[in-house]
């Protein structure tokens, strides 16, 4: 009956009805599609603050700098001696608001590499004060000139420490150190922190946890976990034991998808390093 009624209409009205019906179907299809897609669209959880404020320690204003220096193989010993001399002077000079936390050579990983971790007590103002003084320090400028002859490349990053990680304090040796570096997918730092705030409690029995940091300047969304072990065998036994603790497998399951790439360095502390 509807079809007969439609055919009795003049052709202009038939065309108008066709267009109106087609537009209705099209809009209904878009609405249905939008509703269907809404089932799978990720709902963004708006953050009330930067992740640096949410994850870093509130009771301190420490800023860290990590340096990676790739040294010409024939100069590695000379570089270590020269660096130790300057580090000791700055570490003991109260006019400089900085201290060396640890200094190592990479054993497994990039070869002929030195890694230095500095702490600036007072945050960015302390860093700026230290740099301004160093540029007026003739002895330090001579050191930089001599050091440049020994290096292939160098890079650094400014870091904050996770609020739930151990404070990196001096320790007696002998130890080997592992620096595990994770490059995360952008936007996943909060989730990473939530999981590791629980997981780090499962890695304290052997006092292997030294410090945990995330980048502020340099390569972004990078996390560094620093561990200490007596030797490689102790490292293997300690890591295997973690899998026997309830919840450790869950932490690995939920954090692995957050990672874009990861790297492990085994490092040997230099003689002047407070972390031995």
Instruction: Band the pLDDT of 22: cuts 50, 70, 90.
Output: very low
CA angle, corner 91, sides to 162 and 119, nearest 5?
A: 15
Residues 6+ apart with CB under 8 A from 212: 161, 162, 164, 165, 166, 196, 200, 223, 224, 225, 226
How far are the Cα atoms of 8, 18, 133, 262, 269 from residue 12, in angstroms, in the given order?
A: 12, 10, 87, 68, 89
- pLDDT (tens digit per residue) in 100-110: 999 999 999 99
The torsion angles phi and psi of 40, rounded to 5 degrees, stand at -115, -10
Contact assessment for residue 122 and residue 61, using Cβ atoms and an 8 Å cutoff:
yes
The torsion angles phi and psi of 258, rounded to 5 degrees, stand at -85, -10
The CA distance from 248 to 202, in Å, is 7
Token pair for 147: 């050091």
How far are the Cα atoms of 2, 4, 16, 19, 22 from residue 7, in angstroms, in the given order?
A: 9, 5, 13, 15, 17
List the domain boundaries for the chain: 62-269
Greater pLDDT, 52 or 23: 52
Of 14-28, 161-175, 196-210, which gets the smallest average pLDDT?
14-28
Q: Which among 223, 225, 226 is positioned nearest to 190, based on CA atoms?
A: 223
Residue 52 predicted with pLDDT over 80: no
Q: Within a 13 Å sphere around the CA of 148, how many CA atoms are in the beta-carbon half?
A: 6
Q: Which among 49, 44, 60, 42 is positioned nearest to 193, based on CA atoms?
A: 49
- pLDDT (tens digit per residue) in 175-230: 999 999 999 999 999 999 999 999 999 998 889 999 999 999 999 999 999 999 99
| 218 backbone φψ class: left, alpha, beta (φ>0; ψ -120 to 50) | left
Greater pLDDT, 8 or 244: 244
State the pTM of this model.
Answer: 0.80
How far are the Cα atoms of 9, 91, 102, 155 from residue 143, in angstroms, in the given order?
A: 96, 16, 19, 17
Of 8-12, 82-86, 115-119, which gets the smallest average pLDDT?
8-12
The CA distance from 205 to 71, in Å, is 36
- The CATH classification number of 62-269 equals 3.30.70.100
Instruction: Band the pLDDT of 50: cuts 50, 70, 90.
Output: low
Instruction: For residue 160, give the 3-state DSSP assignment.
Output: strand
Instruction: For residue 6, give the 3-state DSSP assignment.
Output: helix
The CA distance from 9 to 152, in Å, is 86
Residue 58's pLDDT is 63
**Enclosing H/E stretch for 195:** helix 189-199
């Amino acid at each position: 009956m509807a079809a007969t009624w439609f055919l009795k209409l003049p052709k202009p009205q038939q065309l108008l009805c066709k267009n109106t019906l087609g537009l209705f179907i099209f809009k209904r299809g878009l609405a249905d599609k939008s509703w269907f897609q809404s089932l799978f669209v990720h709902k963004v959880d708006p953050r009330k603050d930067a992740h640096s404020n949410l994850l870093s320690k509130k009771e301190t204003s420490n800023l860290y700098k990590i340096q990676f220096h790739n040294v010409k193989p024939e100069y590695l010993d000379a570089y270590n001696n020269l660096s130790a001399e300057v580090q000791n002077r700055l570490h003991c000079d109260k006019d400089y608001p900085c201290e060396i936390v640890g200094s190592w050579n990479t054993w497994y990983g990039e070869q002929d590499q030195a890694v230095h971790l500095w702490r600036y007590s007072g945050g960015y103002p302390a860093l700026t004060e230290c740099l301004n003084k160093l540029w007026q320090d003739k002895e330090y400028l001579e050191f930089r000139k001599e050091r440049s002859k020994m290096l292939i490349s160098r890079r650094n990053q400014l870091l904050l420490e996770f609020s739930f990680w151990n404070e990196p304090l001096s320790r007696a040796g002998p130890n080997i150190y592992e620096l595990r570096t994770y490059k995360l997918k952008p936007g996943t730092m909060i989730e990473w922190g939530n999981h590791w705030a629980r997981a780090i409690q499962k890695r304290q029995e052997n006092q292997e946890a030294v410090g945990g940091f995330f980048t502020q300047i340099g390569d972004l969304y990078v996390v560094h976990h620093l561990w200490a072990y007596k030797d490689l065998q102790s490292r293997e036994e300690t890591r295997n034991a973690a899998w026997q603790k309830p919840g450790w497998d869950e932490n690995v399951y939920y954090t692995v998808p957050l990672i874009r790439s990861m790297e492990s360095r085994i490092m040997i502390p230099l003689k002047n390093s407070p972390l031995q």
